[in-house]
Copies of this chain bind each other. A is one copy, B any other.
Amino acid sequence: MTTSLENRVSAFRDFVKKISSYNQALAVLHWDMRTQAPRKGMEARSEVIGTLSAEQFKLATSKEMEAFLDELGASDTLASLDPVTRHTVLECKKEFDRNKLIPAETYQQFVVLTSQAETIWEEAREKNDFSMFQPYLEKIVDFQLKFIEFWGNDGKNKYNTLLDLYEPGMTVEQLDAIFATLREKTVDLVAAIAQSPNKPDTSALTKHFPIAEQDAFSRFVLKKIGYDFQAGRMDRSVHPFCTSFNPGDVRITTRFDENDFNNALFSCIHEAGHAMYEQNIDPELLFTPLCDGTSMGIHESQSRYWENMVGRSLPFWKGMYSELLSAFPAQFEGVSLDSFYRAINEVTPSFIRTESDEVTYNLHVMIRYEIEKGLINGTLKVADLPTIWNEKMEEYLGVVPPTDTLGVLQDVHWAGGSFGYFPTYSLGNVYAAQFAHVMQQEIKDYEELIESGDFTPIREWLKEKIHQHGKMKSPRELVEAITGEGTNATYLVDYLVKKYSDIYKL
């Protein structure tokens, strides 16, 4: 590398570090707003966030960035760069192009629209009035179509352009195949479960669980699985989330319900799954855009793995049950380990995705995926969504929401302008099952380790294979390197059938 190139690389890395510093600061401002800030300070805080976001955006789309990308992104130069710089250039170029290809005015209109749409959606949901939201959603879909035009498309399916925002490389072709397998087997499984006379007794889970004790037990479990409280913290918020400022400071939030044991603990484990991914990213990637999960789907694979495949597994509770009984002796008096295990894995077709169980969850996601695909490809109209929603609910889950509030209006994603995001929730489950399958082969005494509460080998495996790489490897590269094959829903199906055949004695 010539000295002049070295200087340019160093200047580029400084420039990227500055952008990353803005992002970290903004993440702190957001976290504080959602967990700590007093009511009366919100308005000024929003303005501060707006100002710093605009500054960050200016840098990321600046002439200076363009010059760096032109120079360092030229193929010969790119090949000569160290891997971190090379991937940083590629990642910045992706963001730069996406931002540059949309006229500033169009984007501004979209921001205003989604901001209004979120407010209207809240009201529409409250009033069970889809017609209020409909014109906004129609405009939002139109914007998606414009974006696809600006960004370009692979010529196979318009929706691929949106999918790529959240799951780089994923296509409708792959997803359709994945979901076909998953849907068929899941619908059968749900039907079999419905007919099973062996229903779990869940009454213990809705006894009274004081919040302080739930909090203490949740922290105990998170420490046990390896969430590092010296590199994070847990607070309360209306909706649980995980946010990373840097690998040494990855925070999670939760909410407690005194009358529902199921609520907080598994949500905490879920968020800790996200957080452990971020905590274990290679520190060398700090202050680059690579210091992040590689995709929404891979991120979700980590949260769902820990929540369901570990946290809702029998070995886990075999090891943890005496601790649970010590923490809540009255609530679980006379409840056997087996009965508890079956209770936390109850399967019931229900209306709300976020409250649904491990089996039916993917059916909720598929309904959204099919609707999004239809809207983007022009085979569905926004006006028909309430009807289509309910038809699909009946077909897949055998239940029909009595209101749109409990149906098509339940999620904020579309109001916020997010299309292409939903499928990643199920991809997370698919990936998680693939990874777990390999772990069972590669990690000696896998189940015994979980039962003994020694999660170090699992965490080390995840760190080595997934976490450390951040965005240095694409989701596809990760999946292929780990499993020797592509994305494959068979493992998830097998896992679900085996687990729930046992629980429901099918």
Contacts and interface: CB of A to CB of B under 8 A. Distances in A.
A474 B368 CA distance: 62
A287 interface: yes
A91 interface: no
Interface in A40-59: 40-45, 47-48, 51-52, 55
A interface, size bucket: 35 or more
A229 B32 contact: no
Interface string A198-236: 000000000000000000000000000000111111000
A200 to B, nearest CB: 38
Given A38-B232, A230-B38, A21 B43 contact: no
Interface in A239-253: 245-249
Contacts of A249: 37-38, 40-41, 44-45
Given A41-B231, A248-B42, A249-B41, A48 B24 contact: yes
A78 interface: no
A352 interface: no
Contacts of A52: 21-22, 25
Contact of A41 (B17, B38, B248): B248
A248 B48 CA distance: 13
Contacts of A233: 36, 38
A25 B24 contact: no
A231 B40 contact: yes
A28 interface: yes
A32 B45 CA distance: 15
Interface in A137-188: none
A222 to B, nearest CB: 13
Contacts of A28: 28-29, 32
Contacts of A25: 25, 29, 48, 52
A39 interface: yes
A246 B286 contact: no
Contacts of A36: 36, 233
25 contacts: A17-B51, A18-B55, A24-B44, A24-B48, A25-B25, A25-B52, A28-B28, A28-B32, A32-B32, A36-B36, A38-B229, A38-B230, A38-B232, A38-B248, A40-B228, A40-B249, A41-B248, A41-B249, A42-B248, A43-B248, A44-B245, A44-B249, A44-B286, A45-B245, A45-B249
Given A36-B36, A38-B249, A41-B249, 16 more contacts: A18-B55, A24-B48, A25-B25, A25-B48, A28-B28, A28-B29, A36-B233, A38-B229, A38-B231, A38-B232, A38-B248, A40-B230, A40-B248, A41-B231, A45-B246, A45-B249
Give 5 nearest A-B pairs by CB, closest first. Answer: A41-B249, A40-B248, A44-B246, A41-B248, A21-B51
